[in-house]
């Protein structure tokens, strides 16, 4: 076995030192009745070349972005990932290392995390970021728990225009913590501000809104923050497509208390959804309540500048059942990918990229707007996605487009929003060309005839 170096001769020598003579003796602490008589049925061993061939074959059974054009966003985005990202994350001392408990041997990881935290704090307009969370939805759940359970205000007011999956995850996490959720209605594709105002009282631990929202529309963050602040309720902004923050004023600038979400857009391909990158950024006031790892700058005993994991007394390994969260392993390598990505595209790159996405999506909006059979119900500012409804059953559209090598989301938003029918969010990043958009238009025209 090529990963197990001990020879039979080694084994004999080691047995002698240990004072056993058989494997069975070595495992004698396991009651006989539990010892497997037959190996678990997982198939014969395969040589590397054959594993490669078999898995390459399996991967080719998927329809990929190289086989078809994807106009899917919602929870994962197709942006270009510069080669330097993979090259860097493939450096063995980055990807094989453990969580940096030993700072003397982990300055590489620690400094990269510090840069990640710095970038994310700037991008979101907040004071601090943690080292990463699992993903965008669990990040929103952590924020909810931090603000509701932490402050013993067990009610969360959430926008009904959070992505339906984020909403489902919030419900999953809220139940056991006895947090009750009120959904704030939408009006014309964005949060209904009156309804928000009506639902905020002193029991509400936090308001959670997503921008751009599930329909792709940019929320009026200034009003939402003002209304919440008047009622003294903390605010959480969920951002699932942070490329938008290359151009949009960040939630922190409006006074939001927490900005969290998904940063897969920063240097990761959608990869069938994972691993992605959860993040959470907070104001100074909340730093000591933040879930997960956080890296701080300090000195070593010789006075050299360096980095360590800090504020550890919040965490599960020290606080056990009193920890702010149960998270341990997070998504550090994905945070490294984001750090390399953001370093590479830089200030100007992120801004230009955001503009490019807006331009592509608006071009598509104008092209699709006058197609017979397509409705664009809400005409409000959006980033790179917008909602459309079709005059025909969506399954037919999905099929017809697939025949033309065009991928749209499997999610019919009619399933989540009773006031919609045959509805779907279309996404346009820098990775779709003018020709792709015109092809989509033609294919839709044909399908809708």
Ligand X SMILES: Cc1ncc(COP(=O)(O)O)c(C=O)c1O
- The least distance separating ligand X from the CB of residue 211, rounded to whole angstroms, comes to 30
Of the candidates 375, 362, 365, 386, which has an alpha carbon nearest to the alpha carbon of residue 448?
375
Q: Is 327 left (phi over 0), alpha (psi -120 to 50) or beta?
A: beta
**Using rule CB under 8 A, residue 363 touches other proteins:** yes
Positions 146 through 205 that interact with other proteins (CB under 8 A): 163, 165-166, 168-169, 171-173, 175-178
Q: Which span sits near other proteins by CB under 8 A: 133-141, 151-159, 187-195, 200-208? A: 133-141
Contacting other proteins (CB under 8 A), which of 181, 400, 407, 420?
407
**Using rule CB under 6 A, residue 359 touches ligand X:** no
Q: Which span sits near other proteins by CB under 8 A: 32-40, 183-191, 202-210, 225-233? A: 32-40
- The least distance separating other proteins from the CB of residue 249, rounded to whole angstroms, comes to 5
**Using rule CB under 6 A, residue 328 touches ligand X:** yes
Q: Which single residue is written with the structure tokens 């999953």? A: 172
**Using rule CB under 6 A, residue 369 touches ligand X:** no
Q: What is the largest CA-CA distance in the chain?
A: 83
C-alpha span between 279 and 128 (Å, rounded):
11
- Which one, 316 or 362, has the nearer CB to ligand X? 316
| Total residues in contact with other proteins, by rule CB under 8 A | 205
- The least distance separating ligand X from the CB of residue 136, rounded to whole angstroms, comes to 18
Helix, strand, or coil here: 133?
strand
- Which one, 200 or 217, has the nearer CB to other proteins? 217
Positions 66 through 95 that interact with ligand X (CB under 6 A): none
* Residue 368 · residue 374 · CB < 8 Å: yes
CB-facing half-sphere around the CA of 196: CA atoms within 13 A? 29
Q: Do the strands 258-262 and 278-282 form a parallel or antiparallel pair, or are they unpaired? A: antiparallel
C-alpha span between 342 and 85 (Å, rounded):
10
Site map (CB under 8 A) of other proteins, residues 373-392, x = contact? --------xx----------
Q: Which single residue is written with the structure tokens 């710095």? A: 118
Helix, strand, or coil here: 105?
helix
Distance of CA 187 to the CA centre of its chain: 27
Site map (CB under 8 A) of other proteins, residues 71-110, x = contact? -x-xxx-x-x-x-x-xxx-xxxxxxxxxxx-xxxxxxxx-
- The least distance separating ligand X from the CB of residue 76, rounded to whole angstroms, comes to 23
**Using rule CB under 6 A, residue 102 touches ligand X:** no
Residue 185 interacts with which of other proteins, ligand X, none, CB < 5 to 8 Å by class: none
C-alpha span between 8 and 344 (Å, rounded):
50
**Using rule CB under 8 A, residue 316 touches other proteins:** yes
Of the candidates 334, 331, 260, which has an alpha carbon nearest to the alpha carbon of residue 290?
260
Residues in the chain: 449
**Using rule CB under 8 A, residue 272 touches other proteins:** yes
Tokens of 252: 């922190």
- Cα separation of the two ends of the chain: 61
Contacting other proteins (CB under 8 A), which of 200, 245, 406, 443?
245
**Using rule CB under 8 A, residue 368 touches other proteins:** no
**Using rule CB under 6 A, residue 318 touches ligand X:** no
C-alpha span between 17 and 113 (Å, rounded):
44
- The least distance separating other proteins from the CB of residue 26, rounded to whole angstroms, comes to 6
- The least distance separating other proteins from the CB of residue 445, rounded to whole angstroms, comes to 20
Contacting ligand X (CB under 6 A), which of 329, 366, 369, 405?
329
* Residue 166 · residue 228 · CB < 8 Å: no
- Which one, 175 or 446, has the nearer CB to other proteins? 175
Of the candidates 307, 312, 276, 275, which has an alpha carbon nearest to the alpha carbon of residue 292?
312
Q: Summarize as ranges the residues that interact with ligand X (CB under 6 A).
A: 328-329
């Amino acid at each position: 076995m090529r990963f197990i170096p001990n020879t039979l001769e080694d084994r004999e020598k080691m047995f002698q030192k240990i004072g056993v003579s058989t494997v069975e003796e070595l495992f004698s602490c396991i009651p006989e009745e539990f010892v497997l008589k037959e190996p678990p049925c997982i198939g014969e061993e395969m040589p590397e070349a054959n594993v490669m061939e078999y898995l390459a074959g399996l991967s080719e059974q998927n329809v990929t972005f190289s086989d078809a054009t994807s106009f899917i966003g919602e929870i994962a985005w197709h942006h270009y990932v510069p080669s330097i990202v993979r090259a860097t994350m493939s450096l063995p001392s980055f990807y094989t290392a453990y969580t940096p408990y030993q700072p003397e041997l982990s300055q590489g990881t620690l400094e990269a995390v510090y840069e990640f935290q710095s970038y994310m704090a700037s991008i979101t307009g907040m004071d601090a970021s943690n080292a990463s969370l699992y993903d965008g939805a669990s990040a929103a759940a952590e924020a909810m728990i931090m603000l509701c359970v932490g402050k013993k205000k067990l009610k969360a007011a959430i926008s009904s225009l959070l992505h339906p999956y984020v909403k489902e995850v919030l419900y999953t996490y809220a139940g056991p913590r006895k947090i009750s959720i009120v959904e704030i209605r939408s009006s014309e594709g964005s949060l209904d501000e009156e309804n928000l105002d009506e639902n905020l009282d002193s029991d509400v631990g936090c308001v959670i809104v997503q921008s751009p929202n599930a329909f792709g529309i940019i929320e009026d963050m200034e009003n939402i923050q003002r209304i919440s602040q008047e009622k003294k309720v903390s605010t959480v902004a969920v951002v699932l497509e942070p490329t938008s923050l290359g151009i949009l004023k960040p939630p922190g600038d409006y006074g939001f208390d927490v900005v969290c979400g998904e940063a897969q857009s920063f240097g990761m391909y959608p990869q069938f959804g994972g691993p992605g990158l959860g993040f959470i950024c907070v104001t100074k006031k909340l730093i000591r309540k933040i879930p997960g790892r956080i890296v701080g700058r300090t000195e070593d005993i010789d006075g050299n500048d360096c980095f360590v994991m800090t504020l550890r007394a919040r965490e599960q390994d020290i606080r056990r059942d009193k920890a702010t969260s149960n998270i341990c392993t997070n998504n550090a390598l994905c945070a490294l990918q984001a750090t390399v990505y953001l370093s590479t595209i830089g200030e100007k790159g992120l801004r230009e990229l955001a503009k490019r996405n807006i331009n592509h999506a608006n071009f598509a909006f104008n092209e699709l707007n006058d197609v017979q059979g397509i409705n664009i119900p809400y005409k409000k500012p959006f980033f790179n996605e917008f909602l459309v409804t079709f005059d025909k059953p969506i399954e037919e559209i999905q099929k017809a487009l697939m025949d033309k090598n065009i991928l749209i989301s499997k999610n019919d938003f009619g399933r989540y929003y009773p006031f919609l029918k045959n509805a779907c969010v279309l996404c346009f990043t820098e990775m779709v060309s003018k020709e792709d958009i015109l092809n989509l238009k033609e294919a839709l025209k044909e399908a809708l005839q």
